[in-house]
Structure 1
Amino acid sequence: MAGEHVLIVEDTELLRRIYHDRLAQEGYTVYTASDGLEAIQQMRAVPVDLVLLDLIMPRMGGLEVLETMKADPRLSGIPVVILTNLGEESSVERAIELGAVDYLIKNQAKPADVAAKIRLALDNLGGRSADTKSYKLLVRDRQADAECFVADARLPRRFWCPACEVELAIELLPQGDRPGWYDAHVICPMCGREF
């Protein structure tokens, strides 16, 4: 019953590879990220049914990732299983408060345990359904109502991300309760930043 998309967020390369190989053997499509910033970018770029998330990482830790996911309607429904070390009980409690569905203690969990925990989480909560496909559209500058939109949305430098120097996109996300209706967000397709 695998085939779901799992994102492994772990800063230790060896663990990333071990979890990746085991989950790929189980039939999952596996993505990896070495820190929280990379994880957020990937979640915004590809469909993810579950995130296996380390808590302690450089640049952006697991709790910050959970806070970002909770605040983003595109990411808030993705189940998260936490990877933790012994002695991080308060961090685990905070992660559960932020929406994590379960946790594993790294030095006690074998790759088979990780795969079993992911299967359990997906079976109990369900991953992202097929009808949550999003679309990214480019808008032509100075065409139709583009001028008014730029002014009303207060976009920086017209339709360009100031950090990445790439053209912004309009992302359409389906409204689950209204088929054919979408919520729109202006985003940078490279860094995932919203405007």
Structure 2
Amino acid sequence: MLRSRSMAAILVVEDTDLLRRMYADRLTADGYRVIAAADGLEALSALRSDTPDLILLDLIMPKMSGLEVLELVKKDPRLKDIPVLVLSNLGQDTDIQRGLELGAIDYLIKNDARPADVAAKIQAILKLAGGRVSDGPKFKLLVRDREADADAFVDSAKLTRRMWCP
């Protein structure tokens, strides 16, 4: 379930130390809990022990590219619903299309995006994600031919009629 802004966790995956610290500092100042990773392998390691509310992902990194990380995240049932915002120097249409096809919620080009723009985009994405339904169990009551079916369900579940809408 999405945490409040002051508790929301952002995984910042960026191999350039200065940029990683800059975004971590900005997001921390904005009230987010930041998890930092310097490459794709560190990001996957962090995801084994923590589940962030959003991943800010660079694409060009040593050891494992951001596209590989994105692909693995979106294939993992535990992680697939985490919004991924790509922030990369790769700005060709084919690069952007590939990132979005793999499941990124949006794609920003580093040279065009100021830290304030990135922070605003993260806030907007988390606000939208706040309306998502949890992955908990979903129950549906199918009432077929008779009202008695609903009555039997109410009795067996020990529900009271006051819970029903008039």
Q: TM-score range by the shorter chain?
A: 0.7 to 0.9
- Opposite residue 76 of structure 1, the aligned amino acid is K
- Opposite residue 176 of structure 1, the aligned amino acid is G
**Mapping for residues 93-132 of structure 1, pairs under 5 Å:** 93-126=97-130
Q: Percent identity?
A: 56
Equivalent pairs counted in the alignment come to 135
Matched residues in 1 for 2:92 and 2:45: separation? 26
Unpaired runs of at least 5, structure 1: 132-174, 180-195
Alignment pair present for 1:84 and 2:88: yes
Q: Choose between structure 1 and 2: higher strand proportion.
A: 1
User: Which whole-Å deviations, capped at 9, do the CAs of 1:94-148 have from their partners, x for residues lacking one?
Assistant: 111111101111122111111101001111123998x7xxxxxxxxxxxxxxxxx
Q: Shift of the alpha carbon at 1:54?
A: 0.3
Alignment pair present for 1:71 and 2:92: no
Asked whether the equivalents of residues 52 and 83 of structure 1 are also in contact (C-alpha less than 8 Å), the reply is: yes
Matched residues in 1 for 2:67 and 2:39: separation? 12
- Over aligned residue pairs, what C-alpha RMSD do you find? 2.0
Give the TM-score normalised by the residue count of structure 1: 0.64
Asked whether the equivalents of residues 7 and 31 of structure 1 are also in contact (C-alpha less than 8 Å), the reply is: yes
CA 86–56 in structure 1, closer or farther in 2 if over 3 Å, else same: closer
Give the TM-score normalised by the residue count of structure 2: 0.75
Unpaired runs of at least 5, structure 2: 140-166
Matched residues in 1 for 2:131 and 2:80: separation? 12
Q: Give the equivalent residue in structure 2 for 1:12.
A: 16
Alignment pair present for 1:26 and 2:30: yes
Asked whether the equivalents of residues 99 and 107 of structure 2 are also in contact (C-alpha less than 8 Å), the reply is: no
Matched residues in 2 for 1:24 and 1:111: separation? 12
Matched residues in 2 for 1:108 and 1:6: separation? 21
Q: Shift of the alpha carbon at 1:87?
A: 3.4
What is the DSSP-based 3-state SS (H/G/I as helix, E as strand, rest coil) of the residue aligned with 1:82?
strand
CA 55–88 in structure 1, closer or farther in 2 if over 3 Å, else same: farther
Q: 2:136 aligns with which of 159, 173, 176?
A: 176
User: Which whole-Å deviations, capped at 9, do the CAs of 1:6-34 have from their partners, x for residues lacking one?
Assistant: 00000000000100000000000001101
Matched residues in 1 for 2:80 and 2:122: separation? 18
Q: Choose between structure 1 and 2: higher helix proportion.
A: 2
Q: Shift of the alpha carbon at 1:50?
A: 0.1
What is the DSSP-based 3-state SS (H/G/I as helix, E as strand, rest coil) of the residue aligned with 2:86?
strand
Q: Give the equivalent residue in structure 2 for 1:47.
A: 51
Larger Rg: 2
Asked whether the equivalents of residues 49 and 128 of structure 1 are also in contact (C-alpha less than 8 Å), the reply is: no
What is the DSSP-based 3-state SS (H/G/I as helix, E as strand, rest coil) of the residue aligned with 1:8?
strand
